[in-house]
Amino acid sequence: MSANRKGKQRFFALSVFFLIWILAIVFRLFSMQVLDYTTYMAKIRAQTHRVEELHSKRGTITDRNGEILAISLQSKSAFISNKDGAHALAVFKKFCALLPISGVQKVAISKRIRRGEKFVWLKRKLTDEEYLKVKPLAADAWTAGTIAFLDEYRRVYPQGQLASHVLGGVGIDEQALGGIETSLDHEIKGRGGRLKVLIDARKRIFQFKYLEQPVPGRDIHLSIAAPLQFFVERELAAVVARYQAAGGAVIVMDSRSGQVLAMASCPGYDPETIWNTPLPVLKNKAISFLYDPGSTFKVVLAASALENRICGRQETFNCHNGVYAVRDRQITDVHPFARLSFDDVFVQSSNIGAAQVGMRLGSDRYFATIGRFGFGRRTGIRLPAEENGILNPPHKWSGVSLAFLSFGYEIAVTPLQMAAAFNVPAAGGFLVRPQILRDGATDVGGERVLSASGSEQLGEIMTAVVSRGTGKKAQVAGLEIAGKTGTAHKIKAGRYAGSYVSSFGGFFPARDPRVTLFVVIDEPQGLYFGGDVAAPAFRAIAEKIMLHLGILPGPPAVSEVRL
Amino acid sequence: MNVRKRSRSALRLAVLAFFIFLVLFIYSSLNLMNVDLGYRQHELLRTEAELRLEIDALRARRAGLLSLERTERIALQELGYQYPAAGQIIKVVEAVRER
């Protein structure tokens, strides 16, 4: 009996114990699931839910044939997570042994580690070779917690310095620092997104949802032709070196569409190290170099005179044997002439003849033509830092301004403005806006600024400049070229100094223009006339263009063309 | 009679239990499938992104290898070629040939 009772008591005690135990579990579960629901849910979310920032990749920039000029590649950036200064310094030393870092950087990084900064960049945007060298550090037990790598995009320019001024470059954080990278930055950079993910204990993603869809940067196709750009840059650099010039610029345009096939500015730079490049080198001389155009501007004078029919083309002008005074200023010609016909004023590039044509034309009509040819305002090409040029209205002109403006002084232009103006007779009298993107207009458009007959006559005069005038050194066997030379004093500190800007512009084939080309050489030493310095460069580039575009004379008089 | 009733209600319970089990089984299987598909989908997306990056890297490498600067350097320095002098390049005009 007693044993039975004891057994019952034990059973009862055990039951109570289990009941309490079960109640405790139920209460704990209730507390976790109901009372502290939000706290525990937040903890779970923190462990399993994550929002990932998705970085957008900058668009690729290609030339007109799809050759890559700029592309973003994923790369690793190394950093130190600084929990223990002494250990971090030791790890940094090991890193330096594998991947040499400049002395200045070494000191700066060591200082930051000693200061106790928790996150210190070691080297950003490693190349593949560099990453392979230091990758084992992330797996090594001694260094793993201290050194780590982050994914970042690295902008790569596989063609080196090619078209550097057109492309520009980006900074360490992919911020645009010039060229097309800047002007089309809003399209190239795209927009980052956000991804909400659920991760398991092994940190593997098993569910995700885009909170914001990333928009990749748009690919840009330039109008530039890489092979032409290469030859143009080579030729420009050779001329600049030959004449120890301060620099130069060349623009090659498709005469019909205005698409820029090559745009070179010397000196060039490496876009991948744009932040190390001095500011004057970064300047794209083709659009930012302001200069007095000199005799190349006589093309605009001739256009205005022809359009306003101020004289016949055979009418002669008194050239005063090379010296002529307008008020208190003297105008001289390099070669003295007694009288020259209207055509020969331009063919022989007489300043005195041009001044007389200009004075007969009058300031209002001439100013109107200059404005219509696009001077005094940007061409609108989609590149940053394009200059307007300087063009004063007639009411600000002095008594000699009209005469001097007739041969290209008292006005400041950019090489691109000159190229666009030289393209007017090539495009049948239309001012075509230069374009740097391939997918723009493909045929003649723009505003008519010169009649068809005026355009034809101007083309004839410019052809004579090359065949029998100052531009003979631009001649290419078997190719008829229309052009004009220019040599202008350069303004330094507000005064015309003893240095010059030599230029030559033109288009070819003269009767069916396909290409307009403008060459400017800044401060050549020794020879400085446009006909001696810029014209031969024009010829050399024109020969390459002939080969590249397959431009050959119509019915040829010769069986072969030697280039 | 009672035995019959009891066995019928037991059968009902068994059928009910089976359906509950079936519903739970299908529900949990679908959930598992969903999770598995999530893993696979993310893995495929990751692979796609990696392949895209690899393609870009290869395109950049190709562009670098074919760059005119490199070609010129190899031609001039390694192969000893020179730029042709004026008049050395001859382009025969097709129109003359046809005559």
Q: What is the SS3 assignment for A146-163? A: CEEEEEEEEEECCCCCCC
Distance (Å, whole) CA A483 – CA A352: 20
Whether chain B has a CB inside 8 Å of the CB on A161: the answer is yes
> A101-110, A165-174, A244-253, A434-443: which has the minimum mean pLDDT?
A434-443
The pLDDT tens digits of the residues spanning A5-46 come to 888 899 999 999 999 999 999 999 999 889 999 998 898 888
Contact criterion met (CB < 8 Å) for A73 and B95: no
CA distances from A35 to A39, A391, A498 (A): 9, 80, 90
The pLDDT tens digits of the residues spanning A292-328 come to 999 999 999 999 999 999 988 999 999 999 999 988 8
Q: Give me the residue from B42, B69, B90 closest to A208, CB to CB.
A: B42
Q: Which CATH class is domain A226-549?
A: alpha beta
The pLDDT tens digits of the residues spanning A395-435 come to 999 989 999 999 999 999 999 999 999 999 999 999 999 99
Neighbours of A123 (CB within 10 A): 18
Contact criterion met (CB < 8 Å) for A227 and B68: yes
Distance (Å, whole) CA A442 – CA A254: 9
- Mean of pLDDT values over A516-525: 96
CB A519 within 8 A of CB A284: no
Looking at beta carbons, which residues of chain B come within 8 Å of A562? 86-90
Residue in chain B nearest A555 by alpha carbon? B95
pLDDT score of B98: 44
Helix (H, G, I), strand (E, B) or coil at A490: strand
Q: Give me the residue from B39, B57, B92 closest to A73, CB to CB.
A: B57
Confidence band for B96, pLDDT divided at 50, 70 and 90: very low
CA distances from A453 to A167, A459, A463 (A): 39, 10, 15
Tell which of B34, B52, B55, B56 to mutate to test the A interface (max A CBs under 10 Å): B56
Whether chain B has a CB inside 8 Å of the CB on A68: the answer is yes
Looking at beta carbons, which residues of chain A come within 8 Å of B72? 230, 234
Whether chain B has a CB inside 8 Å of the CB on A205: the answer is yes
Contact criterion met (CB < 8 Å) for B63 and A198: no
At residue A60, what is the residue type? T
CB B8 within 8 A of CB B2: no
At residue A318, what is the residue type? N
Residue in chain A nearest B37 by alpha carbon? A206
Q: Give me the residue from A72, A158, A558 closest to B63, CB to CB.
A: A158
| Mean pLDDT, chain A, whole residue set | 91
pLDDT score of A284: 96
CB A120 within 8 A of CB A113: yes
Q: Give me the residue from B42, B63, B96 closest to A68, CB to CB.
A: B63
CB A146 within 8 A of CB A87: yes
Whether chain B has a CB inside 8 Å of the CB on A48: the answer is no
ipTM above threshold 0.95:
no
Cβ within 8 Å of B, A 216-235: 226-227, 230, 234
pLDDT at B13 over 80: yes
Q: Domain-by-domain residue ranges, chain A?
A: 75-84+94-101+111-153, 226-549
Distance (Å, whole) CA A414 – CA A325: 29
> CA nearest A518: which of A531, A503, A508?
A503
Q: Give me the residue from B61, B63, B95 closest to A67, CB to CB.
A: B63
Q: Give me the residue from A543, A547, A556 closest to B93, CB to CB.
A: A556
The minimum CA-CA distance between A127 and chain B, rounded to whole Å, is: 11
Distance (Å, whole) CA A539 – CA A419: 16
pLDDT score of A14: 93
CB A467 within 8 A of CB A473: no
- Which residue has 């779970």 as its token pair? A44
Handedness of CA A10, A15, A20, A22 (dihedral sign): positive
Contact criterion met (CB < 8 Å) for A206 and B42: yes
> Cα-flanking dihedrals φ and ψ of residue A92, to 5°?
-60, -40
pLDDT score of B99: 42
Contact criterion met (CB < 8 Å) for B95 and A556: yes
Please give the structure tokens belonging to residue A434.
């230069």
pLDDT at B97 over 50: no
The minimum CA-CA distance between A99 and chain B, rounded to whole Å, is: 22
CA distances from A42 to A27, A160, A206, A456, A469 (A): 20, 52, 19, 80, 86
Q: At how many degrees (to 10) do helices A530-549 and A226-242 cross?
A: 160
Please give the structure tokens belonging to residue A406.
């007739």
Confidence band for A442, pLDDT divided at 50, 70 and 90: low
Residue in chain A nearest B97 by alpha carbon? A559
Q: Which residues pair with A437 in a beta bridge?
A: A222
The pLDDT tens digits of the residues spanning A459-496 come to 999 999 999 999 999 998 888 999 999 999 988 777 77
The minimum CA-CA distance between A383 and chain B, rounded to whole Å, is: 24
Chain B residues in contact with chain A using a Cβ-Cβ cutoff of 8 Å: 35, 38-39, 41-42, 53, 56-57, 59-61, 63-64, 66-69, 72, 86-97
- Mean of pLDDT values over A246-270: 96
* A-B contacts at Cβ under 8 angstroms: 95
The pLDDT tens digits of the residues spanning A45-88 come to 888 888 888 888 999 999 999 999 999 999 999 998 888 888 88
At residue A540, what is the residue type? A
pLDDT score of A382: 93
Distance (Å, whole) CA A435 – CA A382: 7
Contact criterion met (CB < 8 Å) for A561 and B38: no
pLDDT at A558 over 60: no
